[in-house]
Amino acid sequence: MSDFDDNSTPFRLPVSAPKSAKETFAERLRRRRDTLGTETETKAITSWQSRARVLTAMVVESPHHSATIIRRSSEEARRVNGVEAIIFAQDIPPFRNSLGYEFSGEPLLAEEEVHYRGQPVALIVGKDAACCREAMSLLEIEYHPSPGILTIDHAIALSRFHEAPRNCERGTATAALKSAAKKLSGTFFIPPQQSALIGSGEVKVTPIKGGRGYSVRTRALSPALVRTAVARAADIPESDVQLEAISLAGVTDALEIEPVRLAMLATRAAMTCGSAVMLMVSREDSPLVRGQRHATRVEFEAGFTPEGRITAVDLKLDLDGGYFATDSATVMDRAILHADSVYGIPNFKITARLCLTNRLTSSGLPAEGSAQGAWAMEEVIRRVAAETRLPAHEVRQRNFYEEGSELKNTPYGQPVSAASINRVWKQVLRRSNFVARIEEIEKWNRRNQCYKRGIAIVPVKFGLGDPRPERDAAAVLVQILADGSVMVRVGVVDVNDGLHGQIREEVANRLGIQQEDIQVVLNDFEVLPRSTPVIGTDATGLVLRALADACRNLQGRLREVALQLFAARGQTEVEIEAIRFTQGLVGPDISPTSPLHFKEVIEGAWRKRVNLVETGYHRTPNLWWDHELGAGWPFSSFTYAAAVTEVQIDAFTGELQILRVDIAHEGSSSPNQSDRDFAQLMRAYTLGAGWLLSEEISHSESDASLPLHADEGVPGFADAPFQVVTDRLRPAGDPLSTPGDPCAEAPVLLAAGIREALWDALRAFGLKPGLTIELPLPSTPPKVIATLKEIGRQNREREEAARVKKTNPMVNKPGV
Amino acid sequence: MQSWFSFELDGETCRVEREGTNVSLASFLARLDPCFSHFADHDPRHQPRLVVMGVLEGDRHRFRIVDSGLLMLPMLADRQIWTPEGIRNAEPEHPVNIAYQGGQFECSEERLDSVIALTFEGYYRPDLRRQGQINDQFDAIVTRTANVPAIREAAAQVFASTENLRHEAALRAERSGQEASVWTGRTDIFGDRFTKQLFRLGEQKPLQYVDGKKQRFFRPSTLVELLKLKRDYPDAVLVAGGTSLATFGETLDLPNLISLEGVRELNSVITHEDRWEVGASVSLTQAAEQIGRECPPFNKVLRRFGSRPLRNRATLGGYLANAWSAGQLSPLLMALNARVILISEGGERDAPISQFYTGKSTTLLRPDELIRGIVIPRTSETILSARGITSRLCDAYTVAPRRTFCEPYATGAFAIELRDKTITKAWLAYSGIADFPLRAREAEEFLTGRIWEEKSIIQTLPILNQCVEAGSSINPAAGPEYVKQLVGTLFQKFFYQHPLPGSIRPELLTATGEFARLDEAFFDIVRP
C-alpha cells in the first residue's frame, strides 16, 4: 500500500480533475492560483543571463472596437525562435489583472471582451522586436465582433452613460426660457483632437534589488502615477520603485494616463520573465500612446431679448467618455465650470453627461474640458447675435459679468472679476483697432472675389487649478551650499518651457542673490514625495509659492545668524525684522552701517551648524467642488484674456489663413517673464488652432482597415498667423492667488476666435440670418467648401421660393 | 573599389570604413559620439534631424540644409557636414548662435537645433532677400511647441545682418566690376570659419566604395561611365538625392547603388535662348534658383513642395521617376510644355511630360533607360512675338491641408497663350485627382480660338469636368467630391487672377452678388 492510498491522510493534494462547467468563481480562483503557483509571480532573478539581457515586449492590440474573444491560441507563436513568453489575461493571477481604480476597472489585458480598438489583449515578450512581430503574426485570437457604440448620438440613443448627469444651475432656466421674448435652440459638435506624435511610447522596466523592486524609464508627465501603478502591479511598496528621469523637453500634451497603462504592462512582462523589459506598441499611432480629447456634443436652448441680452440658457453637454471613464469625470467638471465663460446669464442651467462609447479617451491635453465648455457658450452667443441681427461683439459685451450686481459670481459661486474682463476686452479692442477694421474688411470683401476676410473678438475666462483639489499642491527642496550657491529641487516634469528661468528668478529675488548662483533640478521624483501634474493645475504658481515658503523659512534662520554677526561687529541696534536680502547683501533696510555679504552669512550659518536645507510646500487653501451640489470654489483664481482674430478664406479652394491675431492677456506676476508668457501663449494658441482648423482624425469605422488613418494636420510654420500682437497686462487681484503661468492652457480657448472669424467671413459668401448652415470642425478646406456650397444652395432655394411666391401669390395661402 | 572614404564633419576629417552603403548619416552620427545620441530617434515626418551640408554646385559653393536621416553615408564623400552642435562649438559668437541664445523658441533642444541649422543656411543664402521667404526657409518646422513669431523675428534679424554685409561687399566689388559674383554668392563675403572651409571644397571625385557586407556604391563622373555601370550591374538601383529611397532606411538590401550626383552632364542647368536644359540630378532648390526668377510659378509650386531640407536633396529626375500621382510639379511642367529626355546605351529619346506618365505609378521609362534631364521652353517676349503671341499667362495652384510638408489634395497648373484676346493655345494640367498627372485635352481644344473671358471659362467647365476623372488614389482626407470640384475652381481661380484688362467689369465681382451668381459655375459643374 502506497502512501497515496492512505485514506487517513488529513489533507489531499489537488487532483487535476477536468474543469466542470459549473465551476464557481471561488473554485476558479483557487484553480488558477494553484496552476499558476507563486513562481511566475515573483520569478527569482538568479542567473546572470536574466540580469544582463533586455527583452522586448510588444502589446497585441484589439483590432475591433467591441468584440468577444472566442478563442486564443499561442502554440504557433510560442515556437518562434526568441519568444520568451506570451501572456494572456488568464496567465495573470486573480485580482492582478486590473489597472486599478483610477482606470474604472479596466483590465490590464482584455479577458472575455474587448471594449475599444487598441485594447491590449496579449503581451509578447521576446529577444527583439522582429521575433515579437513574427510571433504576433502567428498568434491566433478569434474575435466575435459586435458593432459597438462609436458615436455620442448612438450612446445617447441607447442611454449608455457612465454616471448620473452632473449639473449646475443658477436661477430657473426652464421657467425663464418659457417666458423669454425670443428663443433659440441648436446643437453643435466639437470633435476630438489627438496628442502630438513625439517620440516613441517605449517603457523600460528593469528589476532591481534582486527582483524585489523595479526601475522604470518612461516618458510621463505625471511620474508619481506611474510609480503608484508599478508598485501596485508588482505588489511591492512604492519605495521600491525607482523612476528614471527622461527628458520630456518639447512634450506638452497627453502623457499622463497612457504611460501608466504601458508601465503596468511592462512590469507584468518583467515579472513573468525576470528580466529587464522594453515595452513597445506595434504601431506608432496606437491609441495606447496617442491620447485623444473628449469629443463633445452640445445642445442648447437660449432665451434672449431683442436687444441681445440673454436671459436664460439651458446647456447640455454630452462628452465621449470612452468605455472606461478613467478621469473623464474631471473633464466633464471642467466643461461645466467653464461653460459660463465670461457671461453672466441670470438663469443658467448646465447639464453634462459622460457617454459610454467603445473608444479610448484621455484627459492629458491642455485645457481639456474647459475649451469644450467655453466654446459651447461662444457658439450660443454667436447664434443669438445672428438671430437678433446685432454684431456679435456687441452681444458679447452686453452679457458680460457685472461688478456690483448679483451677477458677479459664477453659477457655482466663485466670484468673477468683471473689471478684469472689461480691461482685457477694451485693451484688445483699442489695440486691434477693431471697429475700423470691420469696415476695412467689408470694403476689401466687396473688392476681392478670390479671397474673403472675416474678423471676430472673443473673450476668455480660465480657471487655474484642478477640480480634484488633491492635485493642487507642490513641494520643493531648497538647499544652500557652503559657498552661498543654491540648489533647488522641484518635483515637476521638465518640459523645457522656461520654468527653470522662472524658478531661478523667484529664488534670486527671495534670497537677494544672483541668478547664476542657483541650480534648478526639475524632474526630481526620488527626493521629493509629491510630483505636481503639469496639465490641469497651476503647476508654476504652486511651485513658486512653495519656493516662497522655503525661502521664508531659510531667511528666518539666516536673519538670526546675521543678527549674531552684526552683534559680533558691535552693531547691536539692528532689528531682526528689518533685515533684508538684496543684491547679495544682508542687512537692515535703512542702515547707517555696512551690510553683510550673503556669503558671509552663509559661512556663519555653516559654522554655527544652522540647517540650510528646507522643504517648501504649498497647497492652495479652501479649494472645493461638490459636483452633486453643483457648487464650489474649484479654482485658485481666474485668468482673463481676449483676442481679435482676422482670417482669410480662399473662395476657390476653401483654404484658410490667419492673418492677424491681437491678444490682450494677463501675464504672470513677474515682469521679466514676458518671453516665457509669449512662448506659452503661442504654443497653446497653436494647439487650439490645429484642433479647430486642420487636425482631422479620420477613424476608419470598418474593422477591415486596421491601421487608423491618423492624418497629421498639426499647423506648420507657414500656417501660423502672419502677425501677432500681444498686450501683456499686469495680473489684477490678490498677488497670493495670481497664477504663476497664466498662459499655459488658457490661450487654447482663444482659438475660438478663428472659428468666429471664419463665420464672419462666411457672411461675405452670402450667409444670411435664417439659413441653417453647419460648419463642421475641424474646418478643413473640403469642409469649408462644402459649407459654401450649402450657403449657395439655400440662397438659391430662397430666391426660387420668393420668385414663385411673387409670380403666384396664391402659393402657401391657407385654404388653397 | 575602396573600402573607405572620408568627409568633413564639423570642420574635421571623418573617415568612414566598412559602414553599410545604405546607412544614414543620422544613424552613423548616433553611434559616433554621445553628443549626437539624439540623432538615433530620427523620423523624417515628426522629428527630422537637420544638418547643414557644404556642396559645390557648378561654380557656386553653397550651404544646404538637409535631413540627416535621408542622407546615405557614401553620398557624403568629399562633402562637408556641419551639425548644429558643431555650429555652436566652432563659432559661439556667430550671429546665428547669438540669435538663439536665451529666449523661448522651442521647448525641445533637438528641435531648436533644427531651427538653428535652418537659420544657418538662410544666413548664407544669397537669394533670401524678402521677409516673406522666411516661411519658405522654415517650412520643415511642424510642431505644436514652436514659438513661430519669435523664431521669425530672430531669423529676420540674422538675415538682415547678412543683407547689410552683402551690400557692403557689393559696393566694394563694384570698383572691380565683380559685384555680380557677390550677389550670386560666388565670392566669399563672410570670411568666417565656415565659408573659408566651404570655399576650399572641390568637385566630387568619382567613388567606388564597397562596404563590410560587399555592397557597392558607385559615383561615376561621366554619363558614359554611368551607362556602362548600369549595363554591368543590371540590378543596380540609381539614386540621386535619395530622399525617397532613404525613407526605407536600412531595411532595404541594396547590393549595388549608383549615384548620379557626380555625373556632370546630369548636374547642370544650361540656359539656352529658347529653353532651359535641367539635368536629372539637379536639386529642386537649384532648379528654382536658376529658372524661378524668369518663371515665377515654378518657385510658387516649389514653395509648397515638401520642405526646404527635402527640396535641397530631391531632384527633378527622381521626382519624375517616382511617378508620384499627387506630385505638385508635374502639372506645371506640363503647362510649361516641358519635355523629358531619356537616355540609354541605345541612344536618346524624348517625350512631353504629359506622355511620360502612362498609368498609375507607371511611366515611359524602360528598365535600361534613365532620365537625362528636362527641357523647359523659355517664353520671353521676343520668342512669343516671333510666334505672333501677345502674351502668355501661366500659373499653378496647390491645395493642401496645410501650407507645406504634407500630402496635397490636388494641384492644377494652367497656361494660356493669347493673340490679343483670343486664346491660341491652352494647357490645363492636374495632379492628385486622377491616378496620374494629366492634361485636360478636350478642354484645351475647346478653349483654343475663344476669347479669354468669363463666358468661355464657364462654358469650358462641363468639358473640363468630363475629361478629368477622379481616380482611386486621391487623398483620403479630401474625398472625391471635393477633389473633383477643384478641377473647375482652380481653373476659375486662374482666370480671375489673370484677367485681361477689361475682360471683367469690377462691379460684377462684388462679393455676395458675384458669389451667388458664380456659385453654379464654381461648384455645380455637373448638370444633367
Which structural domains are found in chain B, ordered by start?
A: 4-198 (3.10.20.30), 207-259 (3.30.43.10), 269-381 (3.30.465.10), 394-523 (3.30.390.50)
Query: B273: which 3 cell numbers?
Result: 535662348
Across the interface, whether the CB atoms of B107 and A690 are under 8 A apart is answered no
A165 Cβ under 8 Å from any chain B Cβ:
no
User: What order of strands is seen across the sheet that includes strand A579-582?
Assistant: A579-582, A585-588, A596-597
- With beta carbons under 8 A apart, name residues in chain B contacting A792: 515-516, 519-520, 522-523
Closest by CA position to B316, among listed B344, B293, B346, B338 = B338
Residues 6+ apart with CB under 8 A from A803: none
A487 Cβ under 8 Å from any chain B Cβ:
no
Strand A579-582 to A585-588 pairing: antiparallel
Torsion angles phi and psi, residue A458, rounded to 5: -135, 130
Facing A686 at nearest CB: one of B144, B518, B524: B144
Of the pLDDT bands very low, low, confident and very high (cuts 50, 70, 90), residue A33 is low
Domain boundaries defined on chain A: 45-148+199-249+255-281, 296-467+626-763, 473-619
Nearest CA in chain B to A779: B401
Q: What is the CATH number of domain A45-148+199-249+255-281?
A: 3.90.1170.50
Condensed to tens digits (0 to 9), the pLDDT of residues A463-484 reads: 988 888 888 889 999 999 999 9
Nearest CA in chain B to A195: B144
Closest by CA position to B476, among listed A696, A139, A179, A557 = A696
Across the interface, whether the CB atoms of A678 and B147 are under 8 A apart is answered yes
- With beta carbons under 8 A apart, name residues in chain A contacting B476: 698, 709, 711
Facing A709 at nearest CB: one of B147, B476, B509: B476
Whose cell is 566651404? That residue is B198
- With beta carbons under 8 A apart, name residues in chain A contacting B497: 450
A802 Cβ under 8 Å from any chain B Cβ:
no
Residue B485 is predicted with a pLDDT of 85
Across the interface, whether the CB atoms of A678 and B104 are under 8 A apart is answered yes
Contact A493, A225 (CB under 8 A): no
Whose cell is 470694403? That residue is A443
Whose cell is 492673418? That residue is A659
Task: Give the ipTM of the model, two decimals please.
Answer: 0.90
Across the interface, whether the CB atoms of B46 and A712 are under 8 A apart is answered yes
Residue A759 is predicted with a pLDDT of 95
d(Cα B414, Cα B434) in Å, to the nearest integer? 17
Of the pLDDT bands very low, low, confident and very high (cuts 50, 70, 90), residue A348 is very high
* Mean residue pLDDT across chain B: 86
How close B233 comes to chain A (CA, Å)? 31
Across the interface, whether the CB atoms of B47 and A682 are under 8 A apart is answered no
A698 Cβ under 8 Å from any chain B Cβ:
yes
DSSP state of A742: T
How close B270 comes to chain A (CA, Å)? 33
Would you identify the CATH topology of the domain A473-619? Aldehyde Oxidoreductase; domain 4 (3.30.365)
Domain covering A296-467+626-763: architecture: 2-Layer Sandwich (3.30)
User: What order of strands is seen across the sheet that includes strand A613-619?
Assistant: A518-521, A486-490, A473-480, A613-619
Residues 6+ apart with CB under 8 A from A328: A162, A294, A319, A321, A322, A354, A361, A363
Size of interface A-B (CB pairs under 8 A): 197
Nearest CA in chain B to A253: B144
Nearest CA in chain B to A656: B402
Whether the predicted pLDDT of A18 surpasses 70: no
Average of per-residue pLDDT across A52-78: 91
Average of per-residue pLDDT across A353-363: 89
Contacting A residues, span 571-610, partner chain B, CB-CB under 8 Å: none
Instruction: Please indicate whether residue B320 or residue A712 has the higher confidence score (pLDDT).
Output: B320
A760 Cβ under 8 Å from any chain B Cβ:
no
Query: Dihedral sign, CA of B125, B130, B136, B140?
Result: positive
Cα A574 to Cα A563, A566, A606, B36, distances in angstroms: 7, 7, 22, 57
Of the pLDDT bands very low, low, confident and very high (cuts 50, 70, 90), residue A404 is confident
d(Cα A254, Cα A259) in Å, to the nearest integer? 10
Condensed to tens digits (0 to 9), the pLDDT of residues B198-249 reads: 999 988 889 999 988 899 999 999 999 999 999 999 989 999 988 888 777 7
Contacting A residues, span 720-749, partner chain B, CB-CB under 8 Å: 720-721, 724
Across the interface, whether the CB atoms of B151 and A496 are under 8 A apart is answered no
Nearest CA in chain A to B303: A718
Residue A43 is predicted with a pLDDT of 46
Q: Which of B114, B251, B402 to mutate to test the interface with A (most CBs of A within 10 A)?
A: B402
Distance of CA A756 to the CA centre of its chain: 24
How close B7 comes to chain A (CA, Å)? 30
Across the interface, whether the CB atoms of B142 and A678 are under 8 A apart is answered no
Cα B362 to Cα A277, B320, B321, B322, B436, distances in angstroms: 45, 10, 9, 9, 9
DSSP state of A780: -
d(Cα A512, Cα B500) in Å, to the nearest integer? 71
Residue A710 is predicted with a pLDDT of 41
Residues 6+ apart with CB under 8 A from B506: A447
Cα B48 to Cα A695, B10, B41, B44, distances in angstroms: 20, 19, 9, 5
Contacting A residues, span 177-236, partner chain B, CB-CB under 8 Å: 196-200
Q: Which of A652, A705, A798 to mutate to test the interface with B (most CBs of B within 10 A)?
A: A652
Closest by CA position to A221, among listed A188, A195, A193, A240 = A195
CB burial of A658-681 (b: ≥16 within 10 Å; e: otherwise) equals: bbbbbbbbbbbbbeebebbbbbbb
Condensed to tens digits (0 to 9), the pLDDT of residues A751-771 reads: 999 999 999 999 988 888 888
Average of per-residue pLDDT across A704-729: 72
Average of per-residue pLDDT across A435-450: 88
Residue A701 is predicted with a pLDDT of 44
Closest by CA position to A669, among listed A794, A548, A798 = A548
Percent of chain A whose pLDDT exceeds 70: 90
pTM comes to 0.90
Compute how many other C-beta atoms are within 10 angstroms of the C-beta atom of residue A430: 13
Helix H or strand E segment including A462: strand A451-464
Facing B107 at nearest CB: one of A452, A496, A780: A496
Question: In sequence order, what are the beta bridge partners of A302?
Answer: A184, A313
Compute how many other C-beta atoms are within 10 angstroms of the C-beta atom of residue A392: 22
A769 Cβ under 8 Å from any chain B Cβ:
no
Instruction: Please indicate whether residue B501 or residue A332 has the higher confidence score (pLDDT).
Output: A332
Angle between helices A781-807 and A752-763 (to 10 degrees): 40
Whether the predicted pLDDT of A9 surpasses 50: no
Average of per-residue pLDDT across B363-378: 92
d(Cα A412, Cα A629) in Å, to the nearest integer? 9
Facing A197 at nearest CB: one of B46, B105, B141: B46
Helices (H), B130-220: 133-137, 148-174, 179-183, 193-198
Condensed to tens digits (0 to 9), the pLDDT of residues A633-692 reads: 999 889 999 999 999 998 888 999 899 999 999 988 888 888 999 999 999 999 999 999
Condensed to tens digits (0 to 9), the pLDDT of residues A273-318 reads: 888 999 988 877 788 888 889 999 999 999 999 999 999 999 999 9
Query: A436: which 3 cell numbers?
Result: 475700423
Percent of chain B whose pLDDT exceeds 90: 48
How close A413 comes to chain B (CA, Å)? 35
Residue B58 is predicted with a pLDDT of 84
Question: In sequence order, what are the beta bridge partners of B350?
Answer: B341
Of the pLDDT bands very low, low, confident and very high (cuts 50, 70, 90), residue A405 is confident
Q: Which residue type, as a one-letter code, is found at position A760?
A: D
Across the interface, whether the CB atoms of A789 and B404 are under 8 A apart is answered no
d(Cα A391, Cα A398) in Å, to the nearest integer? 11
d(Cα A670, Cα A586) in Å, to the nearest integer? 23
Facing B477 at nearest CB: one of A252, A445, A780: A780
DSSP state of A68: E
d(Cα B81, Cα B52) in Å, to the nearest integer? 6
d(Cα A576, Cα A573) in Å, to the nearest integer? 10
Whose cell is 469605422? That residue is A701
Residue A529 is predicted with a pLDDT of 66
Contact A303, A183 (CB under 8 A): yes
Closest by CA position to A644, among listed A750, A744, A731 = A750
CB burial of A47-74 (b: ≥16 within 10 Å; e: otherwise) equals: eeebeeeebbbbbbbbbbbbbebeebeb
Query: A64: which 3 cell numbers?
Result: 475591433
Residue B523 is predicted with a pLDDT of 29
Residue A699 is predicted with a pLDDT of 52
